[in-house]
Amino acid sequence: MKKKKETFEEKKERVRSLLKIFTREYPGTKTALQYGNPFQLLVGVILSAQCTDARVNLVTPLLFTRFATPFDFAHADIKELETLIYSTGFYHNKAKNIIACSKVLMEKHHGVVPQTMEELHALPGVGRKTANVVLGDAFGKIEGVVVDTHVTRLANRLGLTKEQDAVKIEKELMSLIPKKYWFKFSHALILHGRKICSARKPLCAQCSVNKFCPSSLV
């Protein structure tokens, strides 16, 4: 017998159940990236594209010793910067974006990281994911849902979306999740994706939300 299609309200109810479990299992909402100020977080998130937070955390201590401020990065030698961030991958584009971003911060924002989605999103190399992380972690402002590879994978496996485009996924999740939980839910999905629901071998038998997951192998 063909399974009845889940209604929007039923999906919202299932999300409420997921939230209760995730809130208990992952009470923290902070990024794993190590940073000392909003600008360092901004650089760290740019570096984290297609790279683990753990790898970025190995790179940034030396990086921020050599270049400490937007002014320093704006005037950095790109070859030296590429060498310092080489192990994070895609270092040509990342170095170019960090320097360009730092120049705009100096020229338009007096070297201060802005606190609005519109201004952050306008910075070179800064998409909605990066802007959401900076706003949420550095400033406690919730403007959207952080959508990275983990969130994309788990949102699909949990049947919350069928989209692969980050902007479309974010829009769907924002419609399902109460705004006050947007940031918490995305962080929980990221942590759950690392710990349990990996890309290659999800540990469904150990998953705390398997009974609410249409993709569960249990």
Active site residue 148: yes
What are the structure tokens assigned to 209, written together? Answer: 């939300």
Amino acid at 58: L
Active site residue 137: no
DSSP code per residue over 71-122:
HHHHT--HHHHHHHHGGGS-HHHHHHHHHHHHHHHHHHHTT----SHHHHHT
Q: What are the CA-CA distances from residue 18 to residues 40, 41, 117, 166, 212 (Å)?
A: 32, 29, 27, 21, 7
Helix, strand and coil percent figures for the chain, each rounded to 5: 65, 0, 35
For helices 91-109 and 78-85, the axis angle rounded to 10 degrees is 120
Are the C-beta atoms of residues 208 and 17 closer than 8 Å to each other? no
Name the active-site residue from 5, 12, 141, 148. 148
Strand, coil or helix: 194: helix
Name the active-site residue from 30, 94, 103, 129. 129
- Please give the positions annotated as active site: 129, 148
